[in-house]
Amino acid sequence: MPTAVTPEAVEKVIFAGVEEIGAEGEITRDAAFEDLDLDSLDLVELAQIVEDEFGVELDGDAVKDVKTIGDVIDLVVARA
Amino acid sequence: MADGCAIVTGAARGIGAASATALAADGWPVVVNYRSDRDAAERVVAEIEDAGGKAIAHGADISDPSGIEELFARAEEELGTVLVLVNNAGVRADALSPQIGDEEWSKVIDTNLSAAFHATRRALRPMLRARFGRIVNVASIVGLRANAGQANYAASKAGLIGMTRTIAVEVARRGITVNAVAPGLVETKLAEGVGNGLAEAIPARRPGTPEEVAACIRFLCSEDASYVTGTVLTVDGGLSA
């Protein structure tokens, strides 16, 4: 069963996911992917983590304008 | 050996069956995918089990995207994460171009090219998470040089080669390799009727065997091939040399 989507739950999963993927630096809502040394493939992987956890699909079109960790959290919450 | 399994599409006979057997011998639990010949697929499974390996047969028409999803779901449920994918399923509908109908065109592109893309896309996300993956696409020398009467087949195989190279560079930094083999004339049911008079033109003076192609696929799927990606390995007895 997918985890219920609340902003707090999404933030927790994404922070943990970003760390697991190998982010460099402090992980905050305002941190940009680029500054965390995360690339487009990392974003694909994060989308997979989100899908596994919440059952929310993030396709290529959805994530193409994503810049910060907060952007992804908001996107997942909005799409749930 | 990573902890996961292999899927070989179109594995009831020919190159697919030989590849499934070879991967199982390397220790991979294998899903033997077939479209219609269940008995043949079960024989491949029995042969693998007799040799001490692990395999299951799964019937699915992979030209239908829902067939791909079911195939992966079954593999993940019974054998674990799919870390090796051999896109082997292929069909032919030969004719000179003016005589290739829409259906003969679509059927060949859908099965040989689109299904391989759908399966690859489905396989990649778990492979990215696992930081390991081996994908081998079974192309053909017809994707590299002309053979009159196979415009649809050639387009599908050339497409497969372009797809192989592109996806290889996209995922290389995650320990995933994507390669193609390009067999020439091989003694299979699919190639029946293709080789009339062709053996003379092959420097090796004979058709290849499914096992000779499978040996190359087995290598490309192995740990030893970790730095080989985006390549097309011709297996054709020197025909395209």
Whether B240 is covered by a domain: the verdict is no
Distance in Å from the first CA to the final CA of chain B? 34
> Is residue B194 scored above 80 in pLDDT?
no
- Is residue B87 within 8 Å of residue B117, measured between CB atoms? no
* Residue in the structure block whose two tokens are 């994530």: A63
* DSSP secondary structure string for all residues of A16-77: HHHHHHT--S---TT-BTTTTT--HHHHHHHHHHHHHHH-----HHHHTT--BHHHHHHHHH
Q: Return the closest-CA partner of residue B154 out of B144, B163, B164, B166.
A: B144
> Is residue B47 scored above 90 in pLDDT?
yes
Beta strand B82-87 with B232-235: parallel, antiparallel or unpaired? unpaired
Whether B11 is covered by a domain: the verdict is yes
- The pLDDT score that the predictor gives to residue A40 is 86
**Torsional sign, CA B209, B212, B213, B214:** positive
Whether B241 is covered by a domain: the verdict is no
Distance (Å, whole) CA A11 – CA B35: 44
What three-state secondary structure class fits B215? helix
Residue partners of A39: CB distance under 8 A and separation at least 6: A33
Distance (Å, whole) CA B104 – CA B152: 8
Query: B131: distance to nearest CA of chain A, Å?
Result: 10
- In the structure encoding, which two tokens stand for residue A69, read together? 């960790």
Domain assignment of residue B125, given as a range: 5-235
**Is B125 in contact with A41 (Cβ distance < 8 A)?**
no
- How large is the average pLDDT for residues B48-63? 97
> Is residue B113 scored above 70 in pLDDT?
yes
- Is residue B227 within 8 Å of residue B28, measured between CB atoms? no
Residue B204 C-beta-side C-alpha neighbours within 13 Å: 15
- The pLDDT score that the predictor gives to residue B1 is 53
Interhelix angle A7-21/A40-54, nearest 10 degrees: 140
> Is residue B2 scored above 70 in pLDDT?
no
Average pLDDT for chain A: 90
- The pLDDT score that the predictor gives to residue B150 is 96
> Is residue B154 scored above 60 in pLDDT?
yes
Q: Return the closest-CA partner of residue B54 out of B21, B85, B83.
A: B21
Distance (Å, whole) CA B76 – CA B58: 12
> Is residue B85 scored above 70 in pLDDT?
yes
Distance (Å, whole) CA B168 – CA B184: 23
Q: Return the closest-CA partner of residue B167 out of B226, B114, B117.
A: B117
Per-residue pLDDT band at B121 (split at 50, 70, 90): very high
Residue type, B240: S
> Is residue A1 scored above 90 in pLDDT?
no
Query: B84: distance to nearest CA of chain A, Å?
Result: 18
What three-state secondary structure class fits B32? strand
- How large is the average pLDDT for residues A20-37? 91
Per-residue pLDDT band at B230 (split at 50, 70, 90): very high
A48 CB neighbours in chain B (<8 A) are 125-126, 128-129
pLDDT 10s digits, A67-79: 999 999 999 999 8
- The pLDDT score that the predictor gives to residue B195 is 67
Q: Residues of A with catalytic annotation?
A: 39
Whether B143 is covered by a domain: the verdict is yes
* DSSP secondary structure string for all residues of B36-102: S-HHHHHHHHHHHHHTT--EEEEE--TTSHHHHHHHHHHHHHHT-SEEEEEE-------B-GGG--H
Distance (Å, whole) CA B237 – CA B204: 5
pLDDT 10s digits, B162-189: 999 999 999 999 999 999 999 999 998 8
What is the ipTM score, two decimals?
0.79
* Residue in the structure block whose two tokens are 């989507």: A5
Interhelix angle B115-130/B151-171, nearest 10 degrees: 10
- Domain holding B211: CATH number? 3.40.50.720
B128 in reach of chain A (CB within 8 A) = yes
Whether B37 is covered by a domain: the verdict is yes
> Is residue B193 scored above 80 in pLDDT?
no
Q: Kindly name the residue from B63, B143, B153, B217 that is annotated as catalytic.
A: B153
Q: What is the DSSP letter of B138?
A: E
- The pLDDT score that the predictor gives to residue B196 is 67
- The pLDDT score that the predictor gives to residue B16 is 98
B174 in reach of chain A (CB within 8 A) = yes
> Is residue A64 scored above 70 in pLDDT?
yes
Task: State the total domains in chain B.
Answer: 1
Per-residue pLDDT band at A80 (split at 50, 70, 90): confident
- The pLDDT score that the predictor gives to residue B156 is 98
> Is residue B98 scored above 90 in pLDDT?
yes
β-bridge partners, B30: B6, B55
Per-residue pLDDT band at A26 (split at 50, 70, 90): very high
> Is residue A56 scored above 80 in pLDDT?
yes
Query: A45: distance to nearest CA of chain B, Å?
Result: 7
Probe site for chain A from B81, B120, B129 (most A CB atoms < 10 A):
B129
Whether B153 is covered by a domain: the verdict is yes
- In the structure encoding, which two tokens stand for residue B71, read together? 């195939």
- Percent of chain B predicted with pLDDT > 90: 92
